[in-house]
Amino acid sequence: MPMEMIKKCCHNLMSVWQLNKSCRFVDTPSSAKLAGTFSMGSNGYVCAKEIKSVSDSAYIGRQSIYDRKLNVYAYELLYRSEEMSGQAPAEFDGNMATSNVMMNTFFELGLDTIVGNKIAFINLTQDFIDGTIEIPAFKNKVVLEVLENIEPSQKTIDGMISLKQKGFDIALDDFSFEEKMMPLIDYADLIKVDITLLSRSQLEKHVLLIKKEKKIKLLAEKIETKEEFDHCKSLGFDYYQGYFLEKPSIVKGQKMPANKVALLQLLIKLQNPDVEIDELEKLIVNDASLTFKLMRYINSPAFNVDRNITSIKQILMILGLNNLKQWMTLIVISGIDDKPSDLIRISLVRAKMCVKLAETTKQKNSQEYFLLGIFSMLDAMLDQDLETILNSMPLKQELKKALLNYEGIHGSILKCIIAYERGDVKSMRCGKIPKKLLRQFYLASLSWADETVAGFST
């Protein structure tokens, strides 16, 4: 991106902050390093001083948006900060939040770092819609959300038309189906419906009406259960958002399928602290799929091995017993073929973050924390009660208590990560670890998890 365009974007985005009045723009060879480090100068440029306090405490996260096959279609980008904690929506500066997301996403962090090859959904306030604040031109990667509190005025309509002419797709967020809001539909590409705000009959009525009269995509958000997902899917929604994937779909009296029983038995053996190397080697050799995946990973660039590995004994020598067990656990879980890959991705992000937080706080046996993250989604993967699963596994009591009730240091770390993942600032109790470091850990874990999941699918 040309430097002059960066200056212009930064000028517009940063104009919403009341910041330093005596800064000057400092040119830099890498535009990726610019954002999140600026403040507004009296000469219309920006510099790297006053914004630091906002950027360092900011949470930048994402929430998955799924298609009808539960593949990830896009991510909604989320912004939270300590300053927002306890604030009512009317007190919160939406321009500041949107600007912070854009600055951090487009420049400092890089859009690909957060969403990979997926689309990014970003909330817009009135100033962004009507052009008071300009939007960086990443139109092919971004869907712009018009918030529910935006007045459906001619100014808003003109702004939406202008954004569409520039090539952006427009979504109406938390659409209420009130009469005064209906004119906006003609200028939108997608409608997001908060299913918690409507009864089943109201939801059915509005969806049927929209599907009959308009050629527009529908997204159901705040879906918390599989039953809600199934209902929305039956109504013809195109996309789905919520934490429903993270909850097990337990049918009373239904036995676990044979393939998952075998998987659980393998996991139990892997977690046995007394397992012998010969027994582990036999487990791998007897499972052709496990052997193939393990060989492929150890010979991939990620391990930077200077020779071709052809035997399990060689892998053991390179990884060591504990690392081998960790990777085998990961590969075994990735083999669950009736669950969306995003479940594996979430588990991996948690696992990697658990290790990073454990190492940062100087906890012993950081590899235990990897299992903590992986097993935090085990109930959703196996569709079984988590306590029942854990009772069958030879895990330390500290890990079991952490997974079930967030007890102990293990539980505190896991609770911190899940709170960060969901943008729950009030529950984000992570000791003395700076928010900036948490954000770095989260983004690094996202990148690693995305690469690992991609490796599983090849």
The pLDDT, as a whole number, for residue 97 is 66
Same domain (yes/no): 181, 306: no
Same domain (yes/no): 189, 276: no
- pLDDT band at residue 58 using 50, 70 and 90 as cut-offs: low
CATH number for the domain that contains residue 169: 3.20.20.450
- pLDDT band at residue 34 using 50, 70 and 90 as cut-offs: very low
Same domain (yes/no): 202, 308: no
**Is residue 348 one of the residues assigned to a domain?**
yes
Task: Tell me how far apart the 2 most distant CA atoms of the chain are, in Å.
Answer: 74
Residue 389 tokens read as 């699963």
The pLDDT, as a whole number, for residue 294 is 75
**Is residue 70 one of the residues assigned to a domain?**
yes
**Is residue 252 one of the residues assigned to a domain?**
no
Arithmetic mean of pLDDT, 89-109: 62
Arithmetic mean of pLDDT, 403-432: 88
Using alpha carbons only, how large is the chain's radius of gyration in Å? Answer: 24
> Residue 203: is its pLDDT beyond 90?
yes
**Is residue 251 one of the residues assigned to a domain?**
no
Q: What is the pTM of this model?
A: 0.76
* Structural domains in the chain (count): 3
Same domain (yes/no): 198, 293: no
Which of 261, 254, 221, 285 is CA-nearest to residue 392?
Answer: 261
Which has more pLDDT, 445 or 13? 445
How far apart are alpha carbons 75 and 72 in whole angstroms?
8
CATH number for the domain that contains residue 386: 1.10.3210.10
The pLDDT, as a whole number, for residue 137 is 63
The domain boundary, picked from 10, 28, 56, lies at 56
Same domain (yes/no): 63, 47: no
Same domain (yes/no): 231, 313: no
> Residue 48: is its pLDDT beyond 80?
no
Same domain (yes/no): 101, 51: no
Same domain (yes/no): 302, 419: yes
**Is residue 421 one of the residues assigned to a domain?**
yes
Arithmetic mean of pLDDT, 79-90: 50
How far apart are alpha carbons 437 and 443 in whole angstroms?
10
Express each pLDDT in 209-224 by its tens digit. 888 877 899 999 999 9
The pLDDT, as a whole number, for residue 81 is 60
Express each pLDDT in 328-367 by its tens digit. 887 777 777 778 888 989 999 999 999 999 999 999 888 7
Which has more pLDDT, 404 or 46? 404
The domain boundary, picked from 246, 268, 287, lies at 246
> Residue 37: is its pLDDT beyond 60?
no
Residue 51 tokens read as 């914004």
The domain boundary, picked from 222, 246, 270, lies at 246
Same domain (yes/no): 331, 433: yes
Report the range of poorest mean pLDDT among 228-237, 273-282, 348-357: 273-282
**Is residue 186 one of the residues assigned to a domain?**
yes
**Is residue 335 one of the residues assigned to a domain?**
yes
The pLDDT, as a whole number, for residue 11 is 47
Report the range of poorest mean pLDDT among 66-75, 139-148, 151-160, 243-252: 243-252
Same domain (yes/no): 290, 395: yes
Same domain (yes/no): 62, 52: no
Exposed, middle or buried by CB within 10 Å (0-12, 13-18, 19+), for 288? exposed
Domain that holds residue 127: 58-246
**Is residue 357 one of the residues assigned to a domain?**
yes
- pLDDT band at residue 5 using 50, 70 and 90 as cut-offs: very low
Residue 193 tokens read as 């419906």
Same domain (yes/no): 213, 314: no
